[in-house]
């Protein structure tokens, strides 16, 4: 079982968002005839393997890791865009998979929204921005009357730093940062409480990234929003997160409050990620350079999947999968072999 937060979301002693033993396996086999001719077995890919965490109401939980670690797959399963192969997701006490809670899940949908990496790809280019932002309002029947809807759209655009007159424009008339503001306004249109940001600033310039991140922080403080934030940029995560989960090849290898992750990283992979970030304050400090690449997820190495890249790996690491204990999944940490 995953540790419970003392915050109440859907029940006493539970987090607002609860993820337990989440798994997703993809069938990547060749077509049946090819397998027969080539005498090849079926192949599967474990994109997510036993991930669990909680997010208290009003906080931000960030998932970080290299490309291919399974972060975006987790995000899509949490919001219901992708069904899990196993495991459970509960938001405000409502199961996202239990068929007996289908009615409660439909009522919950308006309170869950996602902000994608490419805002332009998530919008209909033939719709004006006013119609894009108003779509959740109409879909969930939140406001009646066109005049009231237009007024609400103008209010939302102003809230994210745009002008109400921008409602008449098309998505291609905006810059990347402005489009992401439109995407945030659309997410807020349904009176959402839980937002999932899947690399929402990675395609933007650095200065624009800071503006969007500050906007998201301001909106969180104003409306008490809860975030699941997906990123590979540790500087972004440091600005946004309350707690951080480090993923490697589909598994969580370390989970801790933000301050602990940056001050005292425990897992060798977390240390490697932090050592790759330029930091003028630590010039002259010995660093472990990033070596190797993430293994093929179709044929992962036995034992700890990080062992081919880990300078502390031994025979146990190559044969036994480490469990997440006390916030870290590492045999070297458990045995005291990893220097502090």
Rounded mean pLDDT, 254-281: 86
**Per-residue pLDDT, 9:** 33
Last residue of a domain, one of 231, 264, 297: 264
Last residue of a domain, one of 232, 264, 296: 264
- Length of the chain measured in residues: 340
Rounded mean pLDDT, 103-122: 90
**Per-residue pLDDT, 11:** 35
Answer yes or no: is 300 within a domain: yes
Q: Same domain for 223 and 153?
A: yes
Answer yes or no: is 9 within a domain: no
Q: Same domain for 246 and 317?
A: no
The rounded Cα 87 to chain-centroid distance in angstroms is 17
What is the β-pairing status of strands 243-248 and 251-257? antiparallel
**Per-residue pLDDT, 154:** 96
Number of domains the chain is built from: 2
Q: Same domain for 72 and 91?
A: yes
Answer yes or no: is 190 within a domain: yes
Q: Same domain for 154 and 95?
A: yes
Asked whether 17 and 194 are in contact (CB, 8 A), the reply is yes
Q: Same domain for 272 and 256?
A: no
Q: Same domain for 240 and 275?
A: no
Q: Same domain for 273 and 233?
A: no
pLDDT digits (tens, 9 = 90+) for 157-189: 999 999 999 999 999 999 999 999 999 999 999
Q: Same domain for 240 and 274?
A: no
Answer yes or no: is 5 within a domain: no
270: pLDDT confidence band, cut at 50, 70 and 90?
A: very high
**Per-residue pLDDT, 10:** 35
Can you give the CATH number for the domain in which 124 is found?
Answer: 3.40.50.300
Answer yes or no: is 70 within a domain: yes
Q: Same domain for 259 and 188?
A: yes
Structural tokens at position 211: 């503006």
pLDDT at 279 over 80: no
The residue range of the domain holding 273 is 267-340
Answer yes or no: is 158 within a domain: yes
86 - beta bridge partners? 23
Q: Count other C-beta atoms under 10 Å from residue 172's C-beta.
A: 9
* Tokens 């931000």 found at: 60
Q: Same domain for 260 and 316?
A: no
Answer yes or no: is 4 within a domain: no
For CA atoms 313, 316, 322, 325, the dihedral sign is negative
Last residue of a domain, one of 249, 264, 279: 264
Answer yes or no: is 232 within a domain: yes
Structural tokens at position 311: 């300078």
Q: Same domain for 182 and 293?
A: no
Q: Same domain for 260 and 279?
A: no
**Could you tell me what percent of the chain has a pLDDT over 90?**
69
**Per-residue pLDDT, 5:** 35
Distance CA 45, CA 26 (A): 5
pLDDT at 244 over 90: yes
Distance CA 301, CA 305 (A): 5
pLDDT at 56 over 90: yes
78: pLDDT confidence band, cut at 50, 70 and 90?
A: very high
Distance CA 65, CA 231 (A): 7
Q: What is the DSSP letter of 300?
A: P
Structural tokens at position 23: 């798994």
- CA 309, 311, 316: angle at the middle one, nearest 5? 85
């Amino acid at each position: 079982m995953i540790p419970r937060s003392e915050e109440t979301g859907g029940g006493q002693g539970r987090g607002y968002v609860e993820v337990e033993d989440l798994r997703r396996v993809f069938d990547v086999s060749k077509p049946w005839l090819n397998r027969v001719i080539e005498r090849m077995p079926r192949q599967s890919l474990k994109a997510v393997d036993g991930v669990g965490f909680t997010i208290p109401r009003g906080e931000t939980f960030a998932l970080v890791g290299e490309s291919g670690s399974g972060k975006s797959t987790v995000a899509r399963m949490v919001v219901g865009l992708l069904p899990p192969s196993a495991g459970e997701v509960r938001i405000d006490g409502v199961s996202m998979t239990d068929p007996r809670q289908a009615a409660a899940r439909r009522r919950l949908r308006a309170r869950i929204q996602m902000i994608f990496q490419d805002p332009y790809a998530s919008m209909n280019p033939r719709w004006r921005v006013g119609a894009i932002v108003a779509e959740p309002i109409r879909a969930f029947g939140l406001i009646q009357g066109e005049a009231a809807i237009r007024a609400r759209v103008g209010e939302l655009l102003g809230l994210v730093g745009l002008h109400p007159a921008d409602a008449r424009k098309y998505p291609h008339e905006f810059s990347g940062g402005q489009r992401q503001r439109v995407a945030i306004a659309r997410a807020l249109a349904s009176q959402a409480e839980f937002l999932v940001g899947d690399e929402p600033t990675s395609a933007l310039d650095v200065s624009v990234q800071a503006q969007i991140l500050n906007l998201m922080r301001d909106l969180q403080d104003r409306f008490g929003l809860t975030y699941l934030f997906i990123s590979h940029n540790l500087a972004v995560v440091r600005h946004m997160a309350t707690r951080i989960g480090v993923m490697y090849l589909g598994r969580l290898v370390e989970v801790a409050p933000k301050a602990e992750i940056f001050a005292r990283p425990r897992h060798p992979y977390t240390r490697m990620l932090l050592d790759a970030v330029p930091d003028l304050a630590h010039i002259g400090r010995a660093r472990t350079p990033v070596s190797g690449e993430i293994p093929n997820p179709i044929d992962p190495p036995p034992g700890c999947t990080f062992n081919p890249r880990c300078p502390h790996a031994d025979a146990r690491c190559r044969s036994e999968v480490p469990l997440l204990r006390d916030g870290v999944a590492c045999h070297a940490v458990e045995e005291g072999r990893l220097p502090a």
